[in-house]
Amino acid sequence: MLWQIKNPTMLLILTMIFSKLIIKIEYKNHIINNIIINNMNNTFYHESWKPLFDKFKSMPSNLETLYSDESTPVYPEKENVYRVFEMDVKEIKVVLLGQDPYHGPGQAHGLSFSVPSCVKIPPSLRNIYKELQNEFPERNYNFVSGNLEEWFYREKIFLLNASLTVEKGKPSCHMKLWETFTNTVIEFISEQNPKCVFLLLGNFERQKNPIF
């Protein structure tokens, strides 16, 4: 059966569904009206980020190069590299800055510190959970999953890594490749959303202080 779809909105809805870039059903209507598609690598990002991405027009071709060698696995999957930019920069309440994606198979999915629900909670995220439990014992937190999509979509916590990609088993190997881009992201957020709170964890993240 051949479907002829003439409605651009319906075409966009189907594209998002089949590319698995939308997880929360209740979030779809918000994204459909505000998303820009980068046709060079099927990147989805909110229109509020367009001025930033316009400054880095070579990024799609660079991304293709990173993923071109099939003998060297790169994480997360290519379609999830810019996933965090689905959020409107004006809606960000907190930026939680990590170092780089998890470098094991099936762990990274485009959001810092987060892993899919079926994956064991990593030590770095377990430490965050422990601090929350110690700081707010009255809330009786019981964290059973390392999936932070709820934090991202509902709580508007921008889960950014300083490096957006990593090779299997080689932490920090792409840090220099992304440094200029993610530093510019931080500056852009500071300019566009001055009320946003930045949460920096660990010695590496504290090196970002001069940017603010």
| pLDDT exceeds cutoff 60 at 58 | yes
Provide the pLDDT confidence category of residue 57 given band limits of 50, 70 and 90.
confident
Q: Kindly state the percentage of the chain with pLDDT values over 70.
A: 73
Range with top average pLDDT, 6-15, 36-45, 106-115: 106-115
Compute the average pLDDT of residues 69-86: 93
Active-site residue numbers? 100
The answer to whether residues 88 and 46 touch, using CB atoms and an 8 Å cutoff, is yes
The answer to whether residues 77 and 112 touch, using CB atoms and an 8 Å cutoff, is no
For 131-160, the pLDDT digits (tens) are: 999 999 999 999 999 999 999 999 999 999
| pLDDT exceeds cutoff 50 at 128 | yes
Which residues are CB-contacts of 113 (< 8 A; sequence separation ≥ 6)? Answer: 96, 98, 122, 124, 125, 128, 146, 148, 159
Q: Where are the beta strands (DSSP E) in the chain?
A: 35-38, 43-46, 74-75, 94-98, 157-161, 166-167, 197-200
144: left (phi over 0), alpha (psi -120 to 50) or beta: alpha
What's the pTM value of the predicted model, to 2 decimals?
Answer: 0.79
pLDDT reported for residue 166? 97
Cα gap 40→107, rounded to integer Å: 25
